[in-house]
């Protein structure tokens, strides 16, 4: 018999991370098509900070419990749910609800977690590894032996892209703004690194590329980085736009695409999950299985207990964090 109440992190309004406080609530009951999870780990990223501060394109209903990258164990099953049992270890990506001891999830969107993969690692993989995999292999068509430049290579998606591309046999050049971040990218499998905070970084990049040139750019940064990176592409290259962590939405002279026979490709992972969840679920299963058997490494993350959730939410916005922030129960 479980307790009648649970702890969760909740905000009655958006605007600042400090508006979200730990509170007690009744444990919810699953409705038709839902399961209840005993939450074991919830990952927070930069987007979670944008949501709670009201700066994200999606505005959640209030009161709001943050954290949508959730791993846990099924604790109760609602009507019309097949294929799952109490005790199954599963993960899900949804809009919030994860920074809590218990949470509800749609059974149709659950991904099973292999026995050899920890809940913290699974939660930390959900968005960043799916985004990087979808970008590299689906949208980008990465082939073994190609050269890939990853901008923001020490961020969550950037680090995942470095690691997955390197494990797939690509020649990876990691771009980051500090020696510590570049060293981290090298440890993940990059062959070389470049400081893109200096004025002549494109010239430095050119000296690091093989004779075949640069085939693919993975760009979650945008801003002033976009045009010099696009100009660095070889003929027939592809530039993947994943986001605008640099804060500015850049403009690109379209004649460059003609001159280089190059492609500018958008990567919207939510489009994948909203329009082809079976394919997304297949990617998640493959990534989890590869992490469980050691084919790829699960990401590093910064762990905080639920009792420190208020601090952990603020850390999700910090530029000096290494990997995901994961809250454990």
Measured CA to CA, the distance from residue 239 to residue 222 in angstroms comes to 11
40 SS3 class: strand
Q: Note the pLDDT tens digit of each residue in 211-249.
A: 999 999 999 999 899 999 999 999 999 999 998 876 678
Residue pointed to by tokens 């945008």: 222
Average pLDDT for residues 16-27, to the nearest whole number? 96
Please report which confidence band the pLDDT of residue 250 belongs to, taking 50, 70 and 90 as the band edges: confident
Measured CA to CA, the distance from residue 259 to residue 233 in angstroms comes to 11
Measured CA to CA, the distance from residue 194 to residue 181 in angstroms comes to 10
Measured CA to CA, the distance from residue 153 to residue 186 in angstroms comes to 10
Which structure tokens are listed for 253?
């002279």
Q: Note the pLDDT tens digit of each residue in 142-176.
A: 999 999 999 999 999 999 999 999 999 999 999 99
Q: How far apart, in Å, are the Cα atoms of 209 and each of 85, 92, 132, 308?
A: 51, 39, 22, 45
Please report which confidence band the pLDDT of residue 3 belongs to, taking 50, 70 and 90 as the band edges: low
Residues 162-183: b if buried by 16+ CB within 10 A, e if exposed? bbbbbebebbbbbbbbeeebbe
Strands 69-77, 301-305: parallel, antiparallel or unpaired by DSSP?
unpaired
- Mean pLDDT over all residues of the chain? 95
Average pLDDT for residues 301-311, to the nearest whole number? 96
As beta bridge partners, residue 288 has none
Helix (H), strand (E) at residue 305: strand 301-305
Q: Is the pLDDT of residue 1 over 50?
A: no
Q: Which of 66, 20, 14 is nearest to 43 (CA)?
A: 66
pTM: predicted TM-score of the whole model, two decimal places: 0.94
Which structure tokens are listed for 182?
């570049």
Torsion angle of the four alpha carbons 265, 270, 271, 273, in this order, in degrees rounded to the nearest 10? 130
How much of the chain is in helix, strand and coil states, percent to nearest 5?
Answer: 35, 30, 40
- Residue-level pLDDT at 45: 87
Please report which confidence band the pLDDT of residue 2 belongs to, taking 50, 70 and 90 as the band edges: low
- Residue-level pLDDT at 320: 74
Q: Note the pLDDT tens digit of each residue in 279-297.
A: 999 999 999 999 999 999 9
Sequence-ordered alpha helix ranges (H) in 151-268: 156-167, 179-187, 201-206, 226-231, 255-260
CA of residue 5 relative to chain centroid, distance: 31
Q: What is the DSSP string of 86-128?
A: TT-EEEEE-SS--SBSEEEEEGGG-EEPPTTS-HHHHHHHHHH
Average pLDDT for residues 95-119, to the nearest whole number? 97
Q: Is the pLDDT of residue 321 over 80?
A: no
Q: Is the pLDDT of residue 311 over 70?
A: yes
């Amino acid at each position: 018999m479980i307790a009648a109440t649970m702890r969760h992190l909740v905000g009655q309004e958006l605007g600042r991370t400090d508006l979200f406080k730990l509170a007690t609530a009744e444990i919810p009951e699953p409705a038709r098509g839902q399961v209840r999870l005993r939450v074991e780990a919830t990952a927070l990223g930069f987007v979670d900070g944008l949501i709670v501060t009201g700066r994200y394109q999606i505005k959640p209903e209030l009161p709001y419990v943050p954290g949508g990258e959730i791993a846990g164990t099924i604790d109760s099953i609602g009507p019309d749910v097949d294929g799952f049992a109490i005790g199954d270890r599963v993960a899900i990506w949804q809009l919030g609800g994860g920074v809590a001891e218990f949470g509800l999830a749609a059974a149709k969107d659950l991904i099973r977690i292999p026995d050899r993969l920890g809940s913290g690692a699974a939660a930390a993989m959900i968005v960043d590894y799916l985004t990087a995999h979808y970008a590299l292999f689906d949208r980008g068509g990465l082939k073994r032996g190609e050269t890939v430049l990853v901008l923001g290579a020490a961020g969550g998606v950037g680090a995942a892209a470095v690691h997955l591309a390197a494990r797939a046999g690509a020649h990876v050049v990691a771009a980051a703004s500090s020696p510590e971040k570049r060293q981290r990218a090298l440890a993940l499998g990059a062959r070389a690194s470049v400081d893109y905070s200096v004025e002549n970084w494109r010239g430095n990049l050119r000296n690091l590329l093989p004779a075949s040139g640069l085939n693919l750019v993975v760009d979650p940064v945008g801003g002033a980085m976009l045009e010099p990176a696009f100009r660095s592409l070889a003929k027939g290259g592809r530039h993947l736009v994943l986001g605008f962590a640099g804060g500015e939405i850049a403009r690109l002279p379209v004649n460059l695409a003609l001159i280089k026979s190059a492609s500018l490709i958008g990567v919207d992972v939510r489009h994948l999950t909203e329009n082809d969840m079976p394919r997304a679920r297949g990617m998640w299963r493959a990534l989890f299985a590869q992490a469980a058997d050691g084919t790829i490494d699960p990401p590093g993350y910064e762990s905080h207990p639920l009792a420190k959730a208020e601090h952990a939410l603020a850390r999700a916005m910090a530029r000096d964090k290494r990997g995901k922030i994961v809250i454990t129960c």
